[in-house]
């Protein structure tokens, strides 16, 4: 008889954002006229910027004519887009070659798929609270997870020590869910540790475009030594509103080698076997994100989300609630009031203010007692939700 992947039996019965969606759906069934203020999953509310929409139209027209039509795309990404992303790094004085850039259908897809490169015997170090897909993808693959709890005391930015013994290290900066960002010295400690132990860092930089402090690094490859120990995974989901359009990119330096195996070459082998690439239309549109016009427009949208963050932070300041994030990241991580549990606070917010957020417990045990707000809602909803928060907590 066939044996299923029994690792699935070790997963929580359902995924965090699915649970929230179900609870929200039930509330709406019981209160069909209610308007919900959705600040749970980090899904964007602003439409794609004009430059990207123009790219979509051009690409659609290309596909309508024999002379410009594209069939299968190169599995690792269209050369024009790999080059646009490579340039994006080089403009910031980060030395990345075009063939070190791989185009993907999004960071969450890639964070799971990339595990193909590593033997199952490797342990994965996950700093918690953590984006739950890191944990679930490792559980599905039957990998041992080394949980590294972080806390308010270390600013949710723990550093390696003798107990952080694992071959794979997940770092997410700016962090989802806490909004904390590693500085250069802190990242250098992780890079040095990884190089010293032969580990590989999976660096999730999905929120790099939200960093406003000029001293903070946007890429692990700004850190000396990272080319021999890190893979960087990025996404246009939040940066350019691609949650429904889907596109990401991954950087694997050619110097990343373990046991004589080159990870850049292995990923080419993997992609050419397992995908037929991202569609031409989406890659052509994504290319516009990296033009001066596209950069200006996506940053105008990011500025709107930053304004939402300020609105929410002001609302939390009034009742004196402790929070972090919001400045260099699109998430605000707050302490639940009056020692409430995070799911208890979720229910209170939903029932008494029609606000949907994300309970900290969903990001790991040490997230209990905290709560996350996404700042990707509409300006009007965020303003109204902020007023309701002040009323409820003030
Ligand atoms: C989140 O809310 O944590 C993210 O939107 C989830 C994701 O990017 O998949």
Q: Which of 136, 194, 129 is nearest to 160 (CA)?
A: 194
> Looking at residues 212-221, what average pLDDT do you find?
98
CA of 283 relative to ligand 1 center, distance in Å: 21
The residue from 246, 271, 290 where one domain ends is: 290
CB atoms within 10 A of CB 5: 9
CA of 374 relative to ligand 1 center, distance in Å: 9
The pLDDT assigned to 195 comes to: 97
Pocket of ligand 1 (CB under 6 A): 41-42, 108, 131, 176, 237, 374
Q: Residues 300, 172: one domain?
A: no
The pLDDT assigned to 375 comes to: 98
Q: Residues 43, 58: one domain?
A: no
Q: Residues 236, 120: one domain?
A: yes
CATH code at position 262: 3.40.640.10
Note the pLDDT tens digit of each residue in 163-172. Answer: 778 999 999 9
Looking at ligand 1, which atom is closest to the CA of residue 108? Answer: 9
> Looking at residues 339-364, what average pLDDT do you find?
96
Q: Residues 267, 128: one domain?
A: yes
> Looking at residues 103-125, what average pLDDT do you find?
96
253: pLDDT strictly greater than 90? yes
What phi, psi does 201 have (nearest 5°)?
-95, 130
CA of 41 relative to ligand 1 center, distance in Å: 6
Q: How confident is the model at residue 12 (pLDDT cuts 50, 70, 90)?
A: confident
The residue from 263, 290, 317 where one domain ends is: 290
**What percentage of the chain has pLDDT greater than the value 70?**
100
16: pLDDT strictly greater than 90? no
Q: Residues 263, 313: one domain?
A: no
Q: Is residue 6 part of a domain?
A: no
Q: Residues 30, 154: one domain?
A: no
Note the pLDDT tens digit of each residue in 125-168. Answer: 999 999 999 999 999 999 999 999 999 999 999 999 877 789 99
The pLDDT assigned to 162 comes to: 77
The pLDDT assigned to 230 comes to: 98
Q: What domain range includes position 188? A: 50-290
Q: Residues 66, 140: one domain?
A: yes
144: Cα separation from own chain's centroid: 22
User: How is 236-296 classified by DSSP, letter by letter?
Assistant: STTTSS-TTT--EEEE--TT-EETTEEHHHHHHHHHHHH---S-HHHHHHHHGGGSHHHHH
Q: Residues 74, 136: one domain?
A: yes
The pLDDT assigned to 296 comes to: 98
What phi, psi does 391 have (nearest 5°)?
-60, -45
State how many domains the chain has. 2
Q: Residues 223, 370: one domain?
A: no
Angle between helices 379-393 and 292-317 (to 10 degrees): 20
Q: Residues 185, 311: one domain?
A: no
Looking at ligand 1, which atom is closest to the CA of residue 40? Answer: 2
The residue from 269, 290, 311 where one domain ends is: 290
Q: How confident is the model at residue 334 (pLDDT cuts 50, 70, 90)?
A: very high
Looking at ligand 1, which atom is closest to the CA of residue 177? Answer: 3
CATH code at position 365: 3.90.1150.10
CA of 162 relative to ligand 1 center, distance in Å: 31
The pLDDT assigned to 308 comes to: 98
The pLDDT assigned to 15 comes to: 83
For the chain, what's the residue count? Answer: 394
């Amino acid at each position: 008889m066939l044996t299923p992947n029994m690792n699935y039996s070790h997963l929580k019965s359902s995924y965090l954002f699915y649970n929230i969606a179900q609870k929200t759906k039930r509330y709406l069934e019981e209160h069909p006229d209610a308007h919900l203020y959705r600040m749970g999953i980090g899904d964007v509310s602003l439409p794609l910027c004009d430059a990207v929409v123009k790219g979509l139209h051009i690409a659609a027209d290309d596909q309508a004519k024999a002379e410009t039509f594209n069939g299968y795309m190169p599995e690792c990404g269209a050369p024009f887009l790999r080059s646009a992303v490579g340039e994006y790094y080089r403009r910031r004085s980060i030395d990345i070659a075009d063939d070190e850039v791989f185009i993907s259908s999004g960071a969450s897809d890639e964070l799971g798929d990339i595990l193909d490169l590593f033997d199952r015997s490797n342990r994965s170090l996950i700093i918690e609270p953590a984006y739950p897909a890191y944990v679930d993808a490792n559980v599905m693959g039957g990998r041992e997870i080394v949980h590294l709890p972080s806390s308010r005391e270390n600013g949710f930015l723990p550093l390696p020590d003798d107990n952080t013994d694992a071959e794979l290290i997940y770092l997410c900066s700016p962090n989802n869910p806490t909004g904390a960002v590693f500085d250069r010295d802190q990242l250098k400690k992780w890079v040095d540790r990884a190089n010293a132990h032969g580990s590989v860092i999976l660096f999730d930089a999905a929120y790099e475009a939200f960093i406003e402090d000029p001293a903070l690094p946007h890429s692990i490859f700004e850190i000396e030594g990272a080319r021999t120990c890190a893979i960087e995974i990025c996404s246009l989901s939040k940066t350019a509103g691609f949650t429904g359009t889907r596109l990401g990119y991954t950087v694997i330096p050619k110097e990343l080698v373990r046991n004589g195996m080159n990870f850049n070459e292995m990923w080419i082998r993997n992609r050419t076997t397992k995908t037929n690439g991202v569609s031409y239309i989406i890659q052509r549109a994504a290319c516009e994100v990296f033009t001066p016009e596209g950069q200006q427009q996506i940053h105008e949208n990011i500025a709107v989300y930053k304004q939402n963050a300020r609105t929410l932070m002001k609302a939390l300041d009034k009742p004196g609630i402790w929070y972090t994030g919001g400045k260099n990241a699109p998430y605000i991580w707050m302490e639940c009031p009056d020692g409430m549990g995070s799911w208890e606070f979720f229910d209170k917010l939903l029932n008494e203010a029609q606000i949907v957020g994300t309970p900290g417990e969903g990001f790991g045990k040490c997230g209990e007692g905290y709560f996350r707000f996404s700042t990707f809602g509409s300006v009007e909803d965020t303003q109204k939700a902020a007023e309701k928060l002040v009323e409820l907590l003030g």
